[in-house]
Amino acid sequence: MIPKDANRRRLFIMRHGSVTYFDQSGKPLPPETASLTPEGVMQAKAAGKLFASQQAKFDRVIVSGLIRTVETAQHVLAETGQQIMIETRPNLVELKGGHLGSIADADLKTAFHGAFDGMVQESTRFLGGESVGELLDRVIPEIDALRTATDWDIALLVLHGGVNRAILSYLLSGQRMMMGALAQAPACINAVDIGNTKGDVVMRAINLSPTDYLQTGTRKTTMEALYEHYEKFRSKFGANVGEQVSV
């Protein structure tokens, strides 16, 4: 049971479970259609079991609306035994990448590997698509509105790797910024307590993987793994692809 021993509310921020953005040949699939893999389902259920073990009860559950976030939230709620409306916030969808075929071969590795390097500049465009500044423009108002709402004590957000970085960076700093090094494993849980003022924020847990607590599964970033998949396809079929990749 999560105690109410301070004038703060608890915000749980999850990333969706594992999906695949590539078909068997390595060709990128439309990211909007990506649904959970069997491993992703297992991860989402494990997160739900963890919440259930602590008797966590959510007053609000918010997703971006993309299939992978909805499915993850549904599995979490099923494990906790809660029947609660899932709210959709399209402004919280992931960074939109550009057409990969338009990125030169010489720039491809940097485009993937450097997408979330260090303190990401607002002008940085995610794989030639949406900029970090544009992401912050739509994400920050949603978080401000959630903070001012009075109808919740514990809220669950099930979103995306880039979006979560933006939210956590904003909450921790109180400023518009994007700390790219805030890794987000599939179905990870971040726990943040927020008070009534912008500076009253306490980070309780970050990137807690419900199936790999000590993060022993890999040392690669999400973008490094995606690059490996796409680079194999591109070297085989060429750059005239035109598809997008998401996280």
Q: At what angle do helices 132-148 and 161-173 cross, to 10 degrees?
A: 60
pLDDT in tens, 60-108: 999 999 999 999 999 999 999 999 999 999 999 999 988 888 888 888 8
Could you tell me the fold of the domain covering 9-237?
A: Rossmann fold (3.40.50)
> What is the rounded CA–CA span in Å between residue 213 and residue 168?
20
Q: At what angle do helices 38-53 and 67-80 cross, to 10 degrees?
A: 40
Q: Delimit the domains of the chain by residue range.
A: 9-237
- What pLDDT shows up at residue 197? 87
Q: What percent of the chain has pLDDT over 90?
A: 69
